[in-house]
Structure 1
């Protein structure tokens, strides 16, 4: 299943590149930051059901990061509105008390080579005669998690297409030069996961992530 993730990464990169080539005034952003996730209910088709506590561990390898390509519709007369493609490497680890007390025999449960959220977004910015610009946005796309489960019946460790992801964001961008700006942003994601694990079972859970990011943007 690694090929799913590789194809998706190349697809996102190609779309970002094509956005840059096709439009006169695109912007490319990179960011990192701090990401958390609240508890979620996990259901397995063998009848197992439990509530998982999650840790984000944003600054441990692999870290939390993302990249976004944006095109503001200035040339179309809508300079407050932008279209963006966003790839976000979020992740979650099941806490020790989940493995030790709620899932007997499970020794490993995480999505730490990423939930890998790829979304298409619409942004709106509040322009003014100032260097800083607030903005907000919403998007929808897919998650491509690296599923890591070890339990008495077997081990799963592979990339899969997990399901749909929704995204909301709110941020402020500060312009240093005509080409360089920095931003801070709050991002919320809702991801539905329906993935295969060992013994022909399926695992389902809905993961919510909250992130505070800091990044740099290059405006072409």
Structure 2
């Protein structure tokens, strides 16, 4: 149901109409990291009540790699909106797990789907076009939490997500361009555990991205 709804939204962004001046499809990858976050576990039949700070690393280039795509509808030369998906990742550094856990990670995606608004300044520095953007949406991670008798391994919609970004794009020709950017995300995650409890954590990520865009 989630992916069917997303496909419908994506189709709306990619079907041109007379009102649209430009549709831009972008793919990107980069180096993504995450600062520590607080984790709380409550109400589970197997995992005791826990509250601790967890360090994270992104492992951007380990499979599945950190990557994303976006579709932007530029309604005017300077302002646009669109759908953005990012396959963020977090796991404990060097495989160091809290006592009792055999897995605690979101590496099959701390996935975010957001609707973003954008502002750009075309050809502000020669042919280069700076831009900024921000948006809100959902966090839909691949959850992997294993603790003795409790085994949670599934995709869930866990809460709200927000993103913000700033970058510069440079044209290759009339249709293709390349870009570099900083992109941050925030996710508020309330995970349903196999033992009936919940694990909550608000996680930030930071990424330096490079990408390619096709406009039509």
Q: 1:10 to 1:65 in 2, by over 3 A?
A: farther
Determine the C-alpha separation between the residues in 2 that align with 1:42 and 1:97: 17
Q: 2:27 matched to 1:30?
A: yes
Q: Say if 1:109 and 1:150, in contact at 8 Å, map to a contact too.
A: yes
Report the equivalent of 2:167: 171
**How far apart are residue 196 of structure 1 and its match?**
0.8
Report the equivalent of 2:12: 18
Counterparts of residues 132-211 of structure 1 (less than 5 Å): 132-211=128-207
SS state at 1:109 partner: strand
Report the equivalent of 2:2: 8
Counterparts of residues 28-177 of structure 1 (less than 5 Å): 28-45=25-42, 46-74=48-76, 79-96=77-94, 98-99=96-97, 103-128=98-123, 130-177=126-173
More moved, 122-131 vs 157-166: 122-131
Equivalent residue pairs, number: 207
Q: 1:16 to 1:81 in 2, by over 3 A?
A: same
**How far apart are residue 81 of structure 1 and its match?**
0.6
Determine the C-alpha separation between the residues in 1 that align with 2:31 and 2:2: 24
TM-score, structure 1 length as denominator? 0.89
SS state at 1:192 partner: strand
Q: Say if 2:64 and 2:107, in contact at 8 Å, map to a contact too.
A: yes
**How far apart are residue 94 of structure 1 and its match?**
1.8
Determine the C-alpha separation between the residues in 2 that align with 1:150 and 1:209: 23
Determine the C-alpha separation between the residues in 2 that align with 1:183 and 1:92: 25
Structure 1 stretches of 5 or more lacking a match? 1-6
**How far apart are residue 181 of structure 1 and its match?**
0.3
Structure 2 stretches of 5 or more lacking a match? 43-47
Q: Say if 2:32 and 2:60, in contact at 8 Å, map to a contact too.
A: yes
Q: How well do the aligned residues superpose, as a CA RMSD in angstroms?
A: 1.5
Report the equivalent of 2:208: 212
Determine the C-alpha separation between the residues in 1 that align with 2:94 and 2:193: 20
Determine the C-alpha separation between the residues in 1 that align with 2:94 and 2:171: 43
Higher fraction of helix:
1
